[in-house]
Amino acid sequence: MQRLQGATLSLWSSFTPVPQYAFATLNLKQLKQRMKSVGSIRKITKAMKMVAASKMKQDVQRLENGKHFGIRSIQDLFANETYLQKKQLTFKINKTLLVPITSDKGLCGGINSSIIRETRTVVRQNRNAYKLFLIGEKSLGALQRAFPELLTQAITAIQTPINFINSSSIAHQIQLNVTDDVDQISIIFNQFKNVVQQIVKRVDLLNRKNFIAQFRLVTKYDTAEPEKEFVQNYMYEYYVATAFYHAMLNSLASETSSRMNAMENASKNAGEMLDKLTLEYNKVRQAKITVELCEIISGASAV
Protein backbone atom coordinates (compact mmCIF):
# COMPACT_ATOMS: atom_id res chain seq x y z
CA MET A 1 0.00 0.00 0.00
CA GLN A 2 2.83 2.32 0.84
CA ARG A 3 4.46 1.54 -2.46
CA LEU A 4 1.25 2.26 -4.31
CA GLN A 5 0.96 5.65 -2.60
CA GLY A 6 4.54 6.52 -3.57
CA ALA A 7 3.89 5.57 -7.16
CA THR A 8 0.79 7.74 -7.13
CA LEU A 9 2.78 10.70 -5.77
CA SER A 10 5.48 10.18 -8.39
CA LEU A 11 2.93 10.15 -11.18
CA TRP A 12 1.29 13.30 -9.82
CA SER A 13 4.64 15.10 -9.72
CA SER A 14 5.32 14.08 -13.31
CA PHE A 15 2.12 15.83 -14.48
CA THR A 16 2.90 19.19 -12.85
CA PRO A 17 4.74 20.70 -15.90
CA VAL A 18 1.63 20.37 -18.09
CA PRO A 19 0.85 24.14 -18.09
CA GLN A 20 4.41 24.85 -19.29
CA TYR A 21 3.94 22.29 -22.09
CA ALA A 22 0.73 24.00 -23.22
CA PHE A 23 2.44 27.41 -23.06
CA ALA A 24 5.31 26.18 -25.22
CA THR A 25 2.88 24.77 -27.78
CA LEU A 26 1.05 28.11 -27.92
CA ASN A 27 4.31 29.95 -28.42
CA LEU A 28 5.29 27.62 -31.23
CA LYS A 29 2.07 28.34 -33.09
CA GLN A 30 2.45 32.10 -32.63
CA LEU A 31 6.09 32.12 -33.65
CA LYS A 32 5.43 30.00 -36.71
CA GLN A 33 2.63 32.33 -37.81
CA ARG A 34 4.80 35.39 -37.25
CA MET A 35 7.70 33.82 -39.15
CA LYS A 36 5.36 33.20 -42.06
CA SER A 37 4.16 36.83 -42.00
CA VAL A 38 7.69 38.25 -41.86
CA GLY A 39 8.77 35.93 -44.67
CA SER A 40 5.90 37.16 -46.85
CA ILE A 41 6.80 40.78 -46.15
CA ARG A 42 10.41 40.03 -47.03
CA LYS A 43 9.37 38.60 -50.40
CA ILE A 44 7.22 41.68 -51.14
CA THR A 45 9.96 44.17 -50.23
CA LYS A 46 12.51 42.27 -52.33
CA ALA A 47 10.17 42.37 -55.32
CA MET A 48 9.52 46.10 -54.80
CA LYS A 49 13.26 46.73 -54.58
CA MET A 50 13.87 45.02 -57.93
CA VAL A 51 11.03 46.96 -59.58
CA ALA A 52 12.30 50.26 -58.14
CA ALA A 53 15.86 49.48 -59.28
CA SER A 54 14.63 48.89 -62.82
CA LYS A 55 12.59 52.13 -62.83
CA MET A 56 15.43 54.08 -61.23
CA LYS A 57 17.82 53.14 -64.03
CA GLN A 58 15.38 54.51 -66.60
CA ASP A 59 14.59 57.66 -64.60
CA VAL A 60 18.27 58.45 -64.04
CA GLN A 61 18.91 58.01 -67.76
CA ARG A 62 16.08 60.45 -68.56
CA LEU A 63 17.55 62.89 -66.07
CA GLU A 64 21.00 62.61 -67.68
CA ASN A 65 19.48 63.20 -71.13
CA GLY A 66 17.28 66.12 -70.13
CA LYS A 67 18.99 67.88 -67.23
CA HIS A 68 20.71 70.41 -69.52
CA PHE A 69 17.69 71.08 -71.72
CA GLY A 70 16.98 74.80 -71.51
CA ILE A 71 18.37 75.13 -67.99
CA ARG A 72 19.65 78.65 -67.30
CA SER A 73 19.40 79.60 -70.97
CA ILE A 74 17.27 82.67 -70.18
CA GLN A 75 19.33 83.48 -67.08
CA ASP A 76 22.53 83.34 -69.15
CA LEU A 77 20.93 85.60 -71.74
CA PHE A 78 20.19 88.18 -69.04
CA ALA A 79 23.65 87.76 -67.47
CA ASN A 80 25.45 88.39 -70.79
CA GLU A 81 23.41 91.48 -71.66
CA THR A 82 25.63 94.49 -70.86
CA TYR A 83 22.88 97.11 -70.89
CA LEU A 84 20.68 95.01 -68.60
CA GLN A 85 23.54 94.52 -66.12
CA LYS A 86 24.12 98.27 -65.96
CA LYS A 87 20.49 98.85 -65.09
CA GLN A 88 20.61 96.31 -62.23
CA LEU A 89 16.87 95.91 -61.87
CA THR A 90 15.63 94.80 -58.46
CA PHE A 91 12.10 93.73 -57.61
CA LYS A 92 10.39 93.82 -54.26
CA ILE A 93 9.01 90.43 -53.26
CA ASN A 94 5.82 90.73 -51.24
CA LYS A 95 4.14 87.41 -51.97
CA THR A 96 5.49 84.10 -53.27
CA LEU A 97 3.72 81.12 -54.79
CA LEU A 98 5.36 78.01 -53.29
CA VAL A 99 5.26 74.84 -55.39
CA PRO A 100 6.45 71.80 -53.38
CA ILE A 101 6.88 68.68 -55.52
CA THR A 102 6.28 65.32 -53.82
CA SER A 103 5.27 61.85 -54.98
CA ASP A 104 1.81 60.33 -55.19
CA LYS A 105 2.91 57.06 -53.54
CA GLY A 106 4.71 56.31 -50.30
CA LEU A 107 7.27 53.68 -49.26
CA CYS A 108 10.09 55.86 -50.57
CA GLY A 109 12.01 56.88 -47.46
CA GLY A 110 12.05 60.45 -46.18
CA ILE A 111 12.09 62.45 -49.41
CA ASN A 112 8.45 63.53 -49.08
CA SER A 113 8.76 64.42 -45.40
CA SER A 114 11.84 66.57 -46.15
CA ILE A 115 9.91 68.58 -48.76
CA ILE A 116 6.93 68.99 -46.43
CA ARG A 117 9.19 70.00 -43.54
CA GLU A 118 10.96 72.61 -45.69
CA THR A 119 7.64 74.02 -46.91
CA ARG A 120 6.27 74.32 -43.38
CA THR A 121 9.45 76.02 -42.19
CA VAL A 122 9.29 78.60 -44.98
CA VAL A 123 5.57 79.34 -44.62
CA ARG A 124 5.68 79.71 -40.83
CA GLN A 125 8.22 82.53 -41.12
CA ASN A 126 5.52 84.77 -42.61
CA ARG A 127 2.22 83.07 -43.31
CA ASN A 128 0.76 86.04 -45.18
CA ALA A 129 3.63 86.20 -47.68
CA TYR A 130 2.95 82.85 -49.35
CA LYS A 131 0.46 80.89 -51.40
CA LEU A 132 0.63 77.15 -52.12
CA PHE A 133 0.30 75.19 -55.32
CA LEU A 134 0.80 71.52 -54.44
CA ILE A 135 2.09 68.75 -56.70
CA GLY A 136 1.74 65.19 -55.45
CA GLU A 137 -0.68 63.33 -53.20
CA LYS A 138 1.71 63.36 -50.22
CA SER A 139 2.06 67.14 -50.10
CA LEU A 140 -1.71 67.53 -50.45
CA GLY A 141 -2.41 65.20 -47.55
CA ALA A 142 0.17 66.86 -45.29
CA LEU A 143 -0.33 70.57 -46.08
CA GLN A 144 -4.03 70.84 -46.92
CA ARG A 145 -5.12 70.76 -43.29
CA ALA A 146 -2.23 72.87 -41.99
CA PHE A 147 -2.61 75.75 -44.49
CA PRO A 148 -6.13 75.58 -45.99
CA GLU A 149 -6.41 79.32 -46.67
CA LEU A 150 -3.11 79.37 -48.62
CA LEU A 151 -3.92 76.49 -50.96
CA THR A 152 -4.80 77.61 -54.50
CA GLN A 153 -4.76 74.31 -56.38
CA ALA A 154 -3.21 70.83 -56.32
CA ILE A 155 -2.20 68.38 -59.04
CA THR A 156 -2.03 64.65 -58.28
CA ALA A 157 -1.79 61.36 -60.22
CA ILE A 158 0.75 62.74 -62.69
CA GLN A 159 1.48 60.38 -65.54
CA THR A 160 4.96 58.89 -65.62
CA PRO A 161 7.49 58.86 -67.18
CA ILE A 162 7.81 62.64 -67.14
CA ASN A 163 8.25 64.41 -70.45
CA PHE A 164 8.45 68.05 -71.49
CA ILE A 165 4.80 68.11 -72.57
CA ASN A 166 3.57 67.09 -69.10
CA SER A 167 5.90 69.57 -67.41
CA SER A 168 4.79 72.37 -69.75
CA SER A 169 1.14 71.65 -68.97
CA ILE A 170 1.83 71.77 -65.23
CA ALA A 171 3.83 74.99 -65.64
CA HIS A 172 1.00 76.58 -67.64
CA GLN A 173 -1.54 75.59 -64.97
CA ILE A 174 0.67 77.17 -62.31
CA GLN A 175 0.95 80.39 -64.30
CA LEU A 176 -2.83 80.62 -64.39
CA ASN A 177 -2.79 80.69 -60.58
CA VAL A 178 -0.25 83.52 -60.42
CA THR A 179 -2.38 86.52 -59.53
CA ASP A 180 -1.30 90.14 -59.61
CA ASP A 181 -0.19 90.08 -55.97
CA VAL A 182 2.25 87.18 -56.55
CA ASP A 183 5.77 88.47 -57.26
CA GLN A 184 7.66 85.20 -57.74
CA ILE A 185 7.28 81.43 -58.03
CA SER A 186 9.41 79.14 -55.84
CA ILE A 187 9.82 75.44 -56.65
CA ILE A 188 10.83 73.13 -53.78
CA PHE A 189 11.99 69.71 -54.94
CA ASN A 190 14.49 66.92 -54.29
CA GLN A 191 17.63 67.25 -56.38
CA PHE A 192 19.15 63.92 -57.36
CA LYS A 193 22.83 63.70 -56.41
CA ASN A 194 23.39 59.96 -56.48
CA VAL A 195 21.60 56.75 -55.55
CA VAL A 196 21.99 57.32 -51.80
CA GLN A 197 21.84 61.13 -51.61
CA GLN A 198 19.10 63.60 -52.50
CA ILE A 199 19.04 67.20 -51.32
CA VAL A 200 16.17 69.66 -50.99
CA LYS A 201 16.55 72.53 -53.44
CA ARG A 202 14.59 75.73 -53.95
CA VAL A 203 14.47 77.54 -57.30
CA ASP A 204 12.96 81.03 -57.54
CA LEU A 205 11.33 82.22 -60.77
CA LEU A 206 10.16 85.69 -61.75
CA ASN A 207 6.51 86.39 -62.43
CA ARG A 208 5.49 87.42 -65.93
CA LYS A 209 5.43 91.15 -65.18
CA ASN A 210 8.96 91.28 -63.76
CA PHE A 211 10.27 88.96 -66.47
CA ILE A 212 8.96 91.21 -69.24
CA ALA A 213 10.40 94.26 -67.48
CA GLN A 214 13.83 92.65 -67.71
CA PHE A 215 13.37 91.26 -71.20
CA ARG A 216 12.53 94.68 -72.62
CA LEU A 217 16.06 95.82 -71.80
CA VAL A 218 17.59 93.04 -73.89
CA THR A 219 18.94 94.49 -77.14
CA LYS A 220 21.63 92.04 -78.24
CA TYR A 221 19.14 89.39 -79.39
CA ASP A 222 16.40 91.73 -80.56
CA THR A 223 14.89 90.75 -83.93
CA ALA A 224 12.31 92.29 -86.18
CA GLU A 225 10.32 89.10 -86.58
CA PRO A 226 8.45 87.81 -84.74
CA GLU A 227 7.26 90.89 -82.90
CA LYS A 228 8.69 91.55 -79.47
CA GLU A 229 5.38 91.07 -77.62
CA PHE A 230 5.18 87.50 -78.89
CA VAL A 231 8.82 86.79 -78.07
CA GLN A 232 8.43 88.05 -74.51
CA ASN A 233 5.51 85.73 -73.73
CA TYR A 234 7.08 82.81 -75.56
CA MET A 235 10.36 83.21 -73.69
CA TYR A 236 8.55 83.40 -70.35
CA GLU A 237 6.63 80.19 -71.07
CA TYR A 238 9.90 78.52 -72.03
CA TYR A 239 11.64 79.92 -68.93
CA VAL A 240 9.04 78.47 -66.53
CA ALA A 241 8.48 75.17 -68.38
CA THR A 242 12.18 74.23 -68.51
CA ALA A 243 12.57 74.95 -64.78
CA PHE A 244 9.65 72.65 -63.95
CA TYR A 245 10.85 69.99 -66.38
CA HIS A 246 14.22 69.93 -64.63
CA ALA A 247 12.56 69.81 -61.18
CA MET A 248 10.20 66.98 -62.15
CA LEU A 249 13.02 64.87 -63.59
CA ASN A 250 15.04 65.27 -60.41
CA SER A 251 12.05 64.52 -58.19
CA LEU A 252 11.16 61.32 -60.03
CA ALA A 253 14.75 60.04 -60.02
CA SER A 254 15.01 60.84 -56.31
CA GLU A 255 11.73 59.04 -55.58
CA THR A 256 12.67 55.78 -57.31
CA SER A 257 16.20 55.72 -55.87
CA SER A 258 14.90 56.42 -52.36
CA ARG A 259 12.24 53.71 -52.76
CA MET A 260 14.89 51.22 -53.83
CA ASN A 261 17.00 52.04 -50.76
CA ALA A 262 13.96 51.90 -48.46
CA MET A 263 12.90 48.49 -49.77
CA GLU A 264 16.47 47.20 -49.49
CA ASN A 265 16.60 48.28 -45.84
CA ALA A 266 13.15 46.78 -45.22
CA SER A 267 14.25 43.46 -46.72
CA LYS A 268 17.39 43.50 -44.59
CA ASN A 269 15.41 44.25 -41.41
CA ALA A 270 12.89 41.53 -42.25
CA GLY A 271 15.73 39.07 -42.73
CA GLU A 272 17.22 39.95 -39.35
CA MET A 273 13.83 39.65 -37.67
CA LEU A 274 13.26 36.28 -39.35
CA ASP A 275 16.62 35.02 -38.05
CA LYS A 276 15.72 36.07 -34.50
CA LEU A 277 12.30 34.46 -34.74
CA THR A 278 13.84 31.26 -36.09
CA LEU A 279 16.26 31.17 -33.18
CA GLU A 280 13.43 31.75 -30.70
CA TYR A 281 11.34 29.09 -32.43
CA ASN A 282 14.15 26.56 -32.10
CA LYS A 283 14.58 27.43 -28.42
CA VAL A 284 10.87 26.94 -27.68
CA ARG A 285 10.78 23.70 -29.67
CA GLN A 286 13.82 22.39 -27.80
CA ALA A 287 12.19 23.33 -24.50
CA LYS A 288 9.07 21.44 -25.54
CA ILE A 289 11.10 18.34 -26.40
CA THR A 290 12.94 18.57 -23.07
CA VAL A 291 9.65 18.76 -21.15
CA GLU A 292 8.32 15.71 -22.98
CA LEU A 293 11.51 13.76 -22.24
CA CYS A 294 11.29 14.70 -18.54
CA GLU A 295 7.69 13.46 -18.44
CA ILE A 296 8.63 10.16 -20.06
CA ILE A 297 11.57 9.67 -17.71
CA SER A 298 9.46 10.60 -14.66
CA GLY A 299 6.75 8.18 -15.73
CA ALA A 300 9.25 5.37 -16.33
CA SER A 301 10.94 5.88 -12.99
CA ALA A 302 7.56 5.90 -11.21
CA VAL A 303 6.68 2.54 -12.66
Predicted confidence (pLDDT) per residue in 165-177, tens digit: 999 999 999 998 8
| Percentage of the residues of the chain whose pLDDT score is greater than 70 | 84
Question: Tell me, what's the pLDDT at 12?
Answer: 39
Question: Quick check: 82 pLDDT over 90?
Answer: no
Question: Tell me, what's the pLDDT at 111?
Answer: 92
Question: Tell me, what's the pLDDT at 136?
Answer: 93
* pTM assigned to the model: 0.81
Query: For residues 140 and 104, what is the distance between their CA atoms, to the nearest angstrom?
Result: 9
Condensed to tens digits (0 to 9), the pLDDT of residues 108-145 reads 888 999 999 999 999 999 999 999 999 999 999 999 98
Condensed to tens digits (0 to 9), the pLDDT of residues 67-77 reads 888 777 777 77
Count of positions (residues) in the chain: 303
Query: For residues 234 and 276, what is the distance between their CA atoms, to the nearest angstrom?
Result: 63
8 Å CB contact between 158 and 104: yes
Query: For residues 147 and 3, what is the distance between their CA atoms, to the nearest angstrom?
Result: 86
Helix (H) or strand (E) holding 276: helix 228-302
